[in-house]
């Protein structure tokens, strides 16, 4: 009986782990031939992106490769990453257009000053920090103030610029 218990536990563990490779969330490995290519999130105004959502719980989401293509790529733009290896959470041009993904939707913003981007009451402010990460990327803070929010939301991550862009 005592020999059967470890075997039963090992068998039960393998049954529980059998479904672990079914996660299709952004960033997880999967066989390319088995799943359709991810579709880009819709590009909508901030009002539509935040409709019926408590602004206090809205968090920036990482963008997929399809999302990045839909907004015109990263050439001559900078990105804010939550980790040095993560997909971008904010794509911007210094003094130009920017995009953030909120509630599963891509939201365009316009520059409203140095390192400031706005759209429909949503404010994003970035600030470089004089530190680098393990992979050599410049650290950056991103402050997000959703429309009608009582508090700002702050994130510390990493900036990476492409082409002629500078953070």
Residue-wise pLDDT for 78-92, tens only, equals 999 999 999 999 999
Given a cut of 80, whether residue 161 has pLDDT beyond it is yes
For residue range 108-150, what is the model confidence (pLDDT) as tens digits? Answer: 999 999 999 999 999 999 999 999 999 999 999 999 999 988 8
Rounded CA-CA distance 131/129 in Å is: 6
Which residues sit opposite 138 in a β-bridge?
132, 159
Q: Are 114 and 126 in contact (CB under 8 A)?
A: no
The pLDDT score that the predictor gives to residue 15 is 52
Residue with the bigger pLDDT between 57 and 13: it is 57
Among all chains, which residue has been given the structure tokens 């000053």?
113
Cβ atoms of 95 and 101 closer than 8 Å: no
Closest CA to 155 of 90, 78, 69, 65: 90
Average of per-residue pLDDT across 52-80: 94
- Its sign, for the CA torsion 116, 117, 118, 122, is negative
Give 51 or 27, the one with higher predicted confidence. 51
Q: Is the pTM of this model over 0.85?
A: no
C-alpha dihedral sign at 90, 59, 114, 107 = positive
Band of pLDDT at residue 55, cut at 50, 70 and 90: confident
CA-based end-to-end distance of the chain: 66
What average pLDDT does this structure show over 11-15?
Answer: 57
Cα gap 167→140, rounded to integer Å: 9
In this prediction, residue 29 carries a pLDDT of 55
What is the C-alpha to C-alpha distance for residues 31 and 33, in angstroms, rounded to an integer?
6
Q: pLDDT at residue 9 above 80?
A: no
- Across 39-55, average pLDDT: 93
Residue 111, phi then psi, degrees to nearest 5: -65, 140
In this prediction, residue 162 carries a pLDDT of 94
């Amino acid at each position: 009986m005592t020999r059967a218990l470890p075997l039963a536990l090992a068998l039960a563990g393998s049954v529980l782990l059998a479904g672990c490779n079914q996660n299709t969330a952004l960033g997880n490995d999967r066989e390319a031939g088995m799943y359709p290519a991810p579709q880009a999130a819709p590009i909508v105004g901030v009002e539509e992106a935040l409709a019926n959502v408590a602004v206090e719980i809205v968090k920036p989401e990482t963008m997929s490769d399809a999302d990045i293509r839909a907004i015109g790529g990263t050439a001559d733009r900078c990105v804010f990453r939550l980790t040095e290896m993560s997909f971008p959470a904010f794509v911007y041009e210094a003094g130009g257009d920017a995009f953030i993904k909120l509630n599963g939707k891509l939201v365009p913003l316009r520059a409203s000053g140095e390192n400031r981007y706005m759209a429909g009451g949503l404010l994003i402010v970035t600030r470089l920090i004089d530190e680098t990460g393990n992979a050599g990327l410049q650290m950056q803070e991103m402050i997000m103030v959703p429309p009608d929010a009582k508090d700002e939301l702050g994130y510390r991550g990493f900036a990476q610029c492409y082409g002629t862009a500078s953070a």
